Amino acid sequence: MLGVIIGVMAIVLLVSVITGTKAQIEGEIESMGANMFYIYPGNYEFQSGPPGVYTVNKLRRRHIEMLETRSSFGAMVCAEYDIMGLIAKYKRESRVIGFLAGVDANMPEVYNWPVDYGRFFRQEEVDSARRVTVIGETVIKNIFKGSNPIGKYLTLKGEKFKVVGVLKSKGKMMEMDMDNSVIIPITSAHNLAGISEIMQITVKIPDPKNMDKAILESKRILGNELDKKEFSIITQDQMLSAFNKFTSVLSLVTGAIAGISLFVGGIGIMNIMLVTVTERTKEIGIRKSVGASFSNILSQFITESIFIAVAGGVLGILFSILIIFMIAPFVPFPLKASNASIIIAFVFSTVVGVSSGTYPAYKAAKTDPIYALRYE
């Protein structure tokens, strides 16, 4: 029965985790906007690793200007250069920020991430690499201790950046606290890093119906200077496809573990039923002598086997619901035992009961009544 309990728990927990994670990730990806696509350096297949995997980064500022001026779809283009794990300081307070993003002045419009108060930096501040910054709520809480940061200076790698605005709270995305962000002009980020690479180009077009045409046009524009192996274009559909492939692999692995557990549980139930048949040989003989048919004996023992398996399944479902209830407040995605997972688990436990009880039941039903009555 233990194998059935473990197998059923694996099924319920697997379906619940995958369902919750899928809803969370799909919601986050879709919230980015169906009218956006992303350009990364290098010959990169999204299914094989994280964005930005490349050998030589040849994306530069002029490529942004080419996309902006030559696009026939009214595209807004925003360049980005990220620095992870940077320490931000204000007076005696210092904290590691989630990420520092160097972007263009149109980031709020392109990323749908407006300023809550203050302002965003202007294009002339990007062009002149001004040391200004816009920060998230978590940075205010951790470094400025909740006080108004506008006009104050945040120190990044020894350079002082004037806080000019605060972004609206965005919460978590892909397990990252987006409010623990410091946003500066991309030119200033290049100065801090000492390089002029662009990690990501986000292109936003007015009408998502023109997405395919806009992607082809962007490939043609960049192809005038770059080889097709030197940049990659990633769409929302590719992100969802990559995630679905990941969940499919996870389902297969966990499903295999659940299947092995159910198989072992089924073997255990079969052994229990074989022992039961042996111990109740005389009872079988008495029942046959008073008119019990082959099907009567068969159905009796199969029913008992199903009862044992279903009892294990019910315990597995109850344990999994208890585990979900205990861990749900601590996971970043909605987690609950779905009706589908419970039904699937119940059906599997029933199938295990039938399959593991068939041979013992058949053996009991074929028992010679004369032999059975003489059995001690």
**Residues 73, 214: contact at Cβ < 8 Å?**
yes
pLDDT value at residue 160: 96
State how beta strands 159-167 and 153-156 pair.
Answer: antiparallel
Q: Is residue 178 helix, strand or coil?
A: coil
pLDDT value at residue 196: 86
232: alpha, beta or left? (left if phi > 0; alpha if psi -120 to 50) = beta
Burial class (CB in 10 A: 0-12, 13-18, 19+), 99: middle
How far apart CA 101 and CA 186 sit, in angstroms, is 7
**Residues 313, 350: contact at Cβ < 8 Å?**
yes
Q: Is residue 8 helix, strand or coil?
A: helix
pLDDT value at residue 159: 94
pLDDT digit string (tens) for the chain, length 376 residues: 677 888 888 888 888 888 887 777 777 776 667 789 999 998 765 444 444 455 578 888 899 999 988 988 888 999 999 988 889 999 888 998 888 999 999 999 999 899 999 999 999 999 999 999 999 999 999 999 989 999 999 999 999 999 999 999 988 776 678 899 999 999 999 999 988 889 999 999 988 888 899 999 999 999 988 888 889 998 888 888 878 888 888 878 878 888 888 888 888 889 988 898 888 888 888 888 888 888 888 998 899 999 988 998 899 899 988 998 888 888 767 777 778 888 888 888 889 889 988 998 998 888 877 776 766 5
pTM of the model: 0.68
Alpha helix positions (H), the chain: 2-31, 61-70, 107-111, 123-127, 137-143, 186-193, 211-223, 236-279, 281-289, 294-327, 339-365, 369-374
Query: Which DSSP string do the residues of 282-299 spell out, in sequence order?
Result: HHHHHHHHTT--HHHHHH
**Residues 340, 254: contact at Cβ < 8 Å?**
no
How far apart CA 102 and CA 165 sit, in angstroms, is 15
pLDDT value at residue 48: 47
pLDDT value at residue 80: 94
State how beta strands 172-173 and 176-177 pair.
Answer: antiparallel
